[in-house]
Structure 1
Amino acid sequence: MRTPLAVFWFRRDLRLDDNAGLSHALASGQPVLPVFIFDPSILTGLSENDARVTFIYDTLQALRARLEKKYASSIALYYGNPLEVFEQILRSHPVVTVYANHDYEPFARKRDEAVHQWLQARSVDFYTYKDHVLFEKKEIVKDSGSPYIVYTPYMRKWRKIQNQVTLMNYSTLAKLENTVKHPYLPNLSLADIGFVRSTLTIPAYRLDTELLQHYARDRDFPALAATSLLGPHLRFGTISIRQIFQQALNHSNDSFSNELIWREFFSQILWHFPHTQNSSFKPRYDRIQWRNNEAEFERWCKGTTGYPLVDAGMRQLNATGAMHNRVRMITASFLCKHLLIDWRWGEAYFAKKLLDYEMASNVGNWQWVAGCGVDAAPYFRIFNPETQLKKFDKNSNYIQTWINDWRTPGYPAPMVEHTYARERCLKAYRQAIG
């Protein structure tokens, strides 16, 4: 009789150490078969050289190499619908339990429920665990049990509860001997999943003492190397959120940890209000008569609006898949309020381009800028790109890095005058919301 196995299903948690679901699987007493599934329903629509797919692929190959070298194990790679892949796995292996970590996006929740029911019908247990955030779902709520929809009281409650608990660290590495010993586990090439190698790379993150000490002072200046570059690593789980918070707490850095708490705030908003993926949290804002001029949207996408800070941000995004956080806010505000283009258009473009794209944070921040989300900026807050440039890039170092035709005859004049655009925006918003 073959030995019963447990499966650990890697998703957005691409690391071997301090991994909650993997730790539980390894402690189950059953040999663990690690797997990753390239799901065509997620990959469809991405460009064939999407840097995020290359990053996932390379990270998995590095994890496979570590397991093969030290533990004579590996990670089985599959391409296909998860239900079809699990049917294939169950035909080949005596699986009794599948472990994974929670995913909070609407698509993932439906997928996991379908997988759960399918496995249950075949007498296979399915367990998932909190790993992507410190606090999830209903762990930080009002005393009444309802979710917070304003950040500051959420943050205060978050900190109060966090101070009362010890950060759990899962010592996964000590248990990796419990992975399946196998002479061969299926591998894939990028070509097997319909992709080619991207020329873009995701840089290593930075979380040193100097950055944390000066984060509050320097974080708003896009020309400075003052941000952590953690975004893609949080998105794909190549580092534990528990380790990141611990470093921030060790430095008593509220400014940095507040940004991480914003991420958790938006995660629980998407969990409680999944309709916000496509609709405004404040329904009356869906009555706004957006202009949605396609030619103007194209100029915004290409970074030819004639506003240097907006253009520099969009050109940085197009060239690198990254954009400084403050500049994201300014470019988003320009699209929604100067051009009166639906925030969903911008959210979709960022989703296509950003290497650190996370639905909860992207949707939350776009709705914040548009004024239609939870704890949003009031609709009459309209950033002046010229004022922002003087304040945060007064020597034009960031501008000159990304705009090679700036101050040349070929650089476009501003596509819309700020005061005119502001008044047009205010009128449209007032007509919509009364």
Structure 2
Amino acid sequence: MTKPQIVWLRRDLRMADQPALYAAAQAGPVIPVYVLDDDAAGSHAYGGASRWWMHHSLDSLSKSLGARHSRLILRCGDTVEELTKIVEETGAEVIHAIRHYEPWWRKAQGKLSDAFDLQLYDGNYLLPPGAVTTGSGTPYKIYTPFSKATLEQMPPRDVLPEPETLSHPDSWPKSDALDDWNLLPTRPDWSGGIDAFWQVGEAAAQDRLAEWEGDVAEYDDARNLPSQDGSSRLSPHLHFGEISPAQVWHALKGRRGKGWDVYGKELIWRDYAQNVICQFPAYPTQSYREDFEKLKWRDPKTDADAAADLKAWQKGKTGYPVVDAGMRQLWQTGWMHNRVRMIAASFLIKHLLIDWRHGEQWFWDTLVDADYAQNGTNWQWVAGTGVDSNMFVRIMAPLSQSEKFDAAGYISEYVPELAQLDAPYIHDPEEHGCLPDGYPAKIIGHREARERALDTYKAIKQ
């Protein structure tokens, strides 16, 4: 009988359009394996919200495999060591996997390639990172030309079907029980809001895509309106690989108009972020622009006032309603509206003058769609520290943004202390003299914060 084929799973938890699973199924009996390896990722081991999603996504995939008379093998520990053990236990000859680009996964892929026949496939992005280069063959650093060059190569590869059959080995290697990993919160169980907000798994991803097809035409305008929430909400499904960007692209490519054009470029941004970390693996922890390392950030580790401001930002108690609504939505649902993400990130960096890396780590722990490449790229874009980024001196005015993008309904939903206020009062109740009991005054004025940020920035340019 043909020897077993191991499918090493990571952020590719689906049955359809899964190139590694598809190839393995054609080659012999399939052993799907997921290894929980927190040590390898270091400071970027999955945070609490991501662990909640991962539990449910693995459970969903396990049930899908079970329906095909297969099973998901779970191991906890060093990835290379655990896969080596499974090879020895089963006599498998080949390990199939979708290629990943986080630095710890690239390291593991290198070690496994040295020891085994590791077959790597592209499947998590529209195009393989490295496929889009300048005329001289070098990687792009700036998004706009990268996006244009990517569009010239669209559409992406064809979508693969789910394998028709999955044969299984004569005997299965031992497996952990998913519940024993304790990925779900218990003391306390803070996941009630996330449970209510999300459906997890491959079927849920396809359902969400089907719903989104009817809304994508309005995306250009609706994506900026928190109260309307015109976002696709596909980001965690894409992050965990419950659906592939190729599936999304092919499903929506016939939709013509500005909405689809803009959304397609958001998918390309995912590719761009991977392109960035392939060039700069430590990008989520190191500013690309070295002069910013001299900027005198307020340090929450040594400055009690900065620590209090960071905590107020995290808890959604800054006195800026749109910022507070976003931070509370994040804590309640594990997700935040995309326009509000920019407002909240800018507020931490420029109004509070706190290093962007504190925000990156908070988002890493609290977002269900926390992605190593995108999280770092987005934070450095807002901070002005990145290879391609907004200028630091462009400081978002959260109060104006709130009114401009009609965030009143959004604020009412997530800041109940303000729910009795109408627009325009709800955007800035302190200014209008109607600050209710229980809601804080602004921790810093906008003009004061702006001048402090600009003065601090000027100091590193002198």
- Would the TM-score normalized by the shorter structure come out above 0.5? yes
Alignment of 1:175-324 (within 5 A): 176-177=165-166, 179-181=167-169, 186-196=174-184, 198-199=191-192, 200-201=194-195, 202-203=198-199, 204-205=204-205, 206-207=208-209, 208-252=212-256, 253-292=260-299, 293-324=306-337
Quick one: which amino acid aligns to residue 284 of structure 1?
D
Q: Aligned partners of 1:158 and 1:46: how far apart in 2?
A: 29
Quick one: which amino acid aligns to residue 437 of structure 2?
P
Q: Aligned partners of 1:217 and 1:211: how far apart in 2?
A: 11
Q: Select between 320-329 and 193-202 the one with higher mean Cα deviation.
A: 193-202
Q: Aligned partners of 1:4 and 1:183: how far apart in 2?
A: 12
Residue by residue, what CA displacement relative to the aligned partner does 1:237-281 show, whole Å, maximum 9, x if unpaired? 001211111123221310111111111111101111113121111
Residues 411/45 of structure 1: CA separation in 2 closer, same or farther (3 Å cut): same
Measured after TM superposition, the shift of residue 375 of structure 1 is 2.0
Quick one: which amino acid aligns to residue 92 of structure 1?
E
Q: Aligned partners of 1:334 and 1:154: how far apart in 2?
A: 29
**Equivalent of 1:64 in 51, 62, 65:** 62
Asked if 1:430 is matched to 2:418, the reply is no
Measured after TM superposition, the shift of residue 217 of structure 1 is 2.0
Residues 246/114 of structure 1: CA separation in 2 closer, same or farther (3 Å cut): same
Asked if 1:154 is matched to 2:113, the reply is no
Residues 25/279 of structure 1: CA separation in 2 closer, same or farther (3 Å cut): same
Q: Aligned partners of 1:228 and 1:19: how far apart in 2?
A: 22
Q: Aligned partners of 1:387 and 1:54: how far apart in 2?
A: 35
Residue by residue, what CA displacement relative to the aligned partner does 1:373-425 show, whole Å, maximum 9, x if unpaired? 1221111110001100111125x111110112234122111111111111111
SS of the aligned residue for 2:75 comes to: strand
Counterpart position of 1:96:
93
Counterpart position of 2:398:
385
Q: Aligned partners of 2:60 and 2:249: how far apart in 1?
A: 25
Measured after TM superposition, the shift of residue 95 of structure 1 is 1.0
SS of the aligned residue for 1:131 comes to: coil
Note if contact 1:167-1:246 (Cα within 8 Å) is conserved in structure 2.
no
Asked if 1:18 is matched to 2:9, the reply is no
Q: Select between 338-347 and 400-409 the one with higher mean Cα deviation.
A: 400-409
SS of the aligned residue for 1:276 comes to: coil
Asked if 1:114 is matched to 2:74, the reply is no
Residues 156/48 of structure 1: CA separation in 2 closer, same or farther (3 Å cut): closer
Measured after TM superposition, the shift of residue 183 of structure 1 is 6.7
Measured after TM superposition, the shift of residue 182 of structure 1 is 5.1
Measured after TM superposition, the shift of residue 210 of structure 1 is 2.3
Counterpart position of 1:415:
443
Measured after TM superposition, the shift of residue 187 of structure 1 is 4.3
SS of the aligned residue for 2:346 comes to: helix
Q: Aligned partners of 1:13 and 1:195: how far apart in 2?
A: 18
Measured after TM superposition, the shift of residue 83 of structure 1 is 2.3
SS of the aligned residue for 1:17 comes to: coil
Note if contact 2:313-2:327 (Cα within 8 Å) is conserved in structure 1.
yes
SS of the aligned residue for 1:284 comes to: helix
Note if contact 1:4-1:96 (Cα within 8 Å) is conserved in structure 2.
yes
Measured after TM superposition, the shift of residue 48 of structure 1 is 11
Alignment of 1:12-51 (within 5 A): 12-27=11-26, 29-41=27-39, 50-51=48-49
Residues 194/41 of structure 1: CA separation in 2 closer, same or farther (3 Å cut): farther
SS of the aligned residue for 1:35 comes to: strand
Residues 327/49 of structure 1: CA separation in 2 closer, same or farther (3 Å cut): closer
Q: Aligned partners of 1:339 and 1:319: how far apart in 2?
A: 23
Q: Which runs of 5 or more residues in structure 2 are unaligned?
A: 186-190, 300-305, 419-434
Counterpart position of 1:401:
413
Q: Select between 324-333 and 134-143 the one with higher mean Cα deviation.
A: 134-143
Q: Aligned partners of 1:265 and 1:345: how far apart in 2?
A: 23
Counterpart position of 2:157:
167
Aligned length: 421
SS of the aligned residue for 2:35 comes to: strand
Measured after TM superposition, the shift of residue 69 of structure 1 is 2.9
Note if contact 2:80-2:108 (Cα within 8 Å) is conserved in structure 1.
no
Measured after TM superposition, the shift of residue 184 of structure 1 is 5.4
Residues 111/216 of structure 1: CA separation in 2 closer, same or farther (3 Å cut): same
Residues 423/383 of structure 1: CA separation in 2 closer, same or farther (3 Å cut): same
Quick one: which amino acid aligns to residue 159 of structure 1?
L
Measured after TM superposition, the shift of residue 342 of structure 1 is 0.2
Measured after TM superposition, the shift of residue 53 of structure 1 is 2.5
Measured after TM superposition, the shift of residue 348 of structure 1 is 0.4
Residue by residue, what CA displacement relative to the aligned partner does 1:195-240 show, whole Å, maximum 9, x if unpaired? 3455433334533332111111211001113111111101100012
**Equivalent of 1:74 in 71, 74, 86:** 71
Normalising by structure 2, what TM-score?
Answer: 0.86
Q: Which runs of 5 or more residues in structure 1 are unaligned?
A: none
Normalising by structure 1, what TM-score?
Answer: 0.91
Measured after TM superposition, the shift of residue 42 of structure 1 is 6.1
Counterpart position of 2:133:
141
Q: Aligned partners of 2:96 and 2:410: how far apart in 1?
A: 45
Measured after TM superposition, the shift of residue 188 of structure 1 is 3.3
**Percent identity of paired positions between Structure 1 and Structure 2:** 34
Q: Aligned partners of 1:244 and 1:267: how far apart in 2?
A: 18
Residue by residue, what CA displacement relative to the aligned partner does 1:52-83 show, whole Å, maximum 9, x if unpaired? 3343233333333333333x221212222112
Residues 138/195 of structure 1: CA separation in 2 closer, same or farther (3 Å cut): closer
Asked if 1:359 is matched to 2:372, the reply is yes
Note if contact 1:73-1:182 (Cα within 8 Å) is conserved in structure 2.
no
Q: Select between 415-424 and 207-216 the one with higher mean Cα deviation.
A: 207-216
Quick one: which amino acid aligns to residue 409 of structure 1?
D
